[in-house]
């Protein structure tokens, strides 16, 4: 009931924000774009993105505080690559007369409620023709542009901070879980894609186990039996051997060494 009321409140707010008078700059008209988690209002030279009050397996925008936090995070993260587009996080308020306003000046806020109704990420608007799909349709997104974009993304990833070994980020389980959670929300129409995701998850876990074995590679002189190797290499006889069990057979390796 509370979630439905919150969503209804937000839809009413979005409808009010379709009025150009809500903005502190010129706007002939206000266009609305919508995704499953956001509303984007295109007003004059700027775009304003508001988070929907939704809670999904991979995000939680269900409170005003959470939506403000993730607006600030979006600004922080995206300014790393597009500082000219991502400008600031702005409050949406009611003025003293009760009208909805986006980021009004101090004079307009005098006598108005102090608590913002909502928050938005303010961005510099660009022409729709600069979107990648529009560029591709008119032949402006060729191999050279794709290669340049790929190189830029690769450079960004190489310079990005990395999670250490104690973090769950990047593990096969950590990657698979939110992907599978999407299907719980969507349901039957995507059963085939869910099954593929599970197969890919199993493949990733097997690959991770093989990589663990490779990283734990050890060589040990031994005679002719498993017990002899265990006696000579107790560290191999413990965790490393158990970790590789099922993927490596002792009989496959020469009599002078053991390795995963």
The pLDDT tens digits for 104-148 are 765 555 555 668 999 999 999 999 999 999 999 999 999 999 999
Residue 151 is assigned to a structural domain of this protein: no
User: For residue 181, what pLDDT is reported?
Assistant: 79
Q: Poorest-confidence range of 2-6, 82-86, 107-111?
A: 107-111
User: For residue 27, what pLDDT is reported?
Assistant: 96
Q: Which of 113, 134, 155 is the last residue of a domain?
A: 134
Residue 140 is assigned to a structural domain of this protein: no
Say if residue 247's pLDDT is above 60: no
What is the count of structural domains for the chain?
Answer: 3
Q: Which of 81, 106, 134 is the last residue of a domain?
A: 134
- Using alpha carbons, select from 246, 183, 244, 181 the residue that is nearest to residue 214: 244
CA–CA separation, 193 and 186 (whole Å):
11
Average pLDDT, the chain: 80
User: For residue 240, what pLDDT is reported?
Assistant: 40
Residue 10 is assigned to a structural domain of this protein: yes
**Cβ contacts of 124 within 8 Å, gap of 6 or more:** 45, 46, 47, 84, 85, 87
126/239 same-domain check: no
8/91 same-domain check: yes
109/192 same-domain check: no
Q: Poorest-confidence range of 33-42, 50-59, 149-158, 223-232?
A: 223-232
Q: Identify the three-state secondary structure at position 110.
A: coil
218 band by pLDDT with thresholds 50, 70 and 90: very low
Name residue 48's beta-bridge partners. 41, 122
172 band by pLDDT with thresholds 50, 70 and 90: confident
User: For residue 191, what pLDDT is reported?
Assistant: 77
| Residue reference for tokens 């993105």 | 49
Say if residue 208's pLDDT is above 70: yes
Could you tell me how far CA 10 lies from the centroid of its own chain?
23
10/122 same-domain check: yes
99/193 same-domain check: no
Residue 139 is assigned to a structural domain of this protein: no
| Residue reference for tokens 């009611």 | 94
Q: Identify the three-state secondary structure at position 131.
A: coil
Residue 142 is assigned to a structural domain of this protein: no
Residue 61 burial (CB count, 10 A): 19
Say if residue 201's pLDDT is above 80: yes
Could you tell me how far CA 143 lies from the centroid of its own chain?
27
Please give the residue range of the domain that contains residue 238.
217-260
Say if residue 179's pLDDT is above 50: yes
Collect contacts of 28-34 with beta carbons under 8 A, ≥24 apart.
Answer: none
What's the pTM? 0.66
Name residue 123's beta-bridge partners. 47, 86
Name residue 49's beta-bridge partners. 40, 121
- Using alpha carbons, select from 137, 120, 119 the residue that is nearest to residue 128: 137
CA–CA separation, 126 and 253 (whole Å):
62
Residue 148 is assigned to a structural domain of this protein: no
CA–CA separation, 71 and 49 (whole Å):
8
Check: CB of residue 184 under 8 Å from CB of residue 198: no
39/92 same-domain check: yes
Classify residue 92 as exposed, middle or buried by CB count within 10 Å of its CB (0-12, 13-18, 19+): buried
Q: Which of 104, 134, 164 is the last residue of a domain?
A: 134
Highest average pLDDT, of 82-86, 221-225, 242-246, 250-254, comes from 82-86
Name residue 136's beta-bridge partners. none
């Amino acid at each position: 009931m509370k979630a439905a009321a919150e969503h209804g409140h937000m839809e009413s707010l979005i409808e009010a924000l379709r009025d150009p008078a809500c903005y502190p700059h010129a706007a002939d008209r206000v266009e609305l774009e919508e995704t499953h988690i956001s509303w984007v209002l295109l007003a004059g030279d700027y775009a304003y993105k508001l988070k929907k009050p939704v809670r999904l397996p991979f995000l939680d925008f269900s409170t005003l505080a959470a939506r403000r936090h993730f607006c600030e995070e979006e600004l922080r993260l995206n300014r790393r690559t597009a500082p000219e587009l991502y400008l600031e996080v702005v409050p949406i308020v009611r003025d003293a007369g009760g009208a909805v306003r986006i980021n009004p000046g101090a004079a307009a806020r005098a006598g108005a409620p102090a608590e913002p109704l909502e928050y938005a990420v303010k961005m510099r608007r660009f022409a729709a023709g600069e979107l990648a799909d529009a560029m591709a349709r008119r032949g402006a997104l060729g191999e050279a542009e794709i290669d340049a974009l790929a190189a830029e993304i690769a450079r960004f990833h190489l310079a990005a901070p990395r999670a250490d070994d104690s973090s769950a980020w990047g593990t096969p389980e950590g990657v698979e879980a939110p992907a599978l959670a999407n299907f719980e929300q969507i349901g039957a129409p995507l059963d085939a894609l869910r099954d593929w995701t599970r197969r890919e998850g199993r493949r990733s876990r097997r690959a991770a186990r093989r990589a663990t074995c490779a990283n734990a590679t050890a060589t040990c002189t031994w005679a002719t039996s498993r017990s002899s190797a265990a006696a000579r290499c107790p560290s191999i006889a413990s965790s490393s051997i158990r970790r590789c069990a099922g993927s490596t057979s002792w009989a496959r390796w020469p009599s002078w060494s053991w390795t995963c």
